[in-house]
Amino acid sequence: MRWDDLFADLAAQLDAAEAAELAGEVADRTRREVGLLGLADRLRAATSSPLGVTSSGLGTVHGTLLDVGVDWLLLQETGQRELLLRTAAVLAITGVGPRSDVPGGAGEVGRKLDLRWALRGITRSRAGVQVVLVDSTVLAGTLDRVGADHVDVAEHPVGEARRASAVRQVRLVPLTALSAVRSLGS
C-alpha cells in the first residue's frame, strides 16, 4: 500500500515538472516570436482600423489605416484626405490591437514597395499635396521627381495646377526630413 502511494506521488511530481518545463518552453518561444515582429507586421494586421498616429512635425492625426509598406503607412484622414507617413518619423500609434501579421509577411515584392515607390505614385498622379517636414514646415505644391534619397517639390499656390508660371521654386527635400505627404483633394 505505501509503495503505491509513493509511486503515485513520484508520478505526480514528474507530471508537474514536465508541465512546468513545457510552459517555460512555450513562454520562451512566444517571447522569441514576438521579438521578431516589426512595426509593419503589427500594422498590417490593423489595416482598416481607426488609428491615432503621432509623428514628428505633424503632431497627432486620426484616420483609418489603408495600407502599410516597409517604411511608410497610408491613412485615410477624417475629411477623406489621404496621408502618407514615413515610418521613421512616427513617434507613437494608438488603436492597434494585439494581432500581428507573420514577421516579414509582406513578402519579397512588398519589401521592394518602399517610400520612394509610394512617392513615385504620387508624382505620376500630378496631384497637389502638402509636404510636412519633421520640423513642422509645410510645403504646398506638386511632387516633381523622386531620387534615391530625396524628392523634388515644385512649390506653387494650393489649388493651382503645376505650371511653370505658378511655380515659385523647386525645393529638394531629403527623405530623412520628410514626415508626411497629405493629399489636397477631398
Is-above-0.85 flag for pTM?
Answer: no
- E strand or H helix that includes residue 18: helix 2-35
Fold topology of 39-183: SH3 type barrels. (2.30.30)
Can you give the residue ranges of every domain in the chain? Answer: 1-35, 39-183
**Confidence tier at 55 by pLDDT (50, 70, 90):** very high
| Mean pLDDT score, 37-52 | 89
In the chain, % of residues over pLDDT 70? 85
Task: Please report which confidence band the pLDDT of residue 29 belongs to, taking 50, 70 and 90 as the band edges.
Answer: low
Q: How confident is the model at residue 95 (pLDDT cuts 50, 70, 90)?
A: very high
Q: What is the pLDDT of residue 176?
A: 97
Asked if residues 86 and 72 have their Cβ atoms less than 8 Å apart, the reply is yes
DSSP reduced 3-state for 116: helix
20 vs 120: which has the higher pLDDT: 120
Note the pLDDT tens digit of each residue in 161-176.
888 888 999 999 999 9
Comparing 24-33, 47-56, 147-156, 172-181, which segment has the lowest mean pLDDT? 24-33
What average pLDDT score do residues 94-112 get? 70
Contacts of 177 (CB under 8 A, 6+ apart): 133, 134, 135
Model confidence at 186: pLDDT above 60: no
User: Which residues neighbour 56 within 8 Å (Cβ) at sequence distance 6 or greater?
Assistant: 89, 91, 134, 179
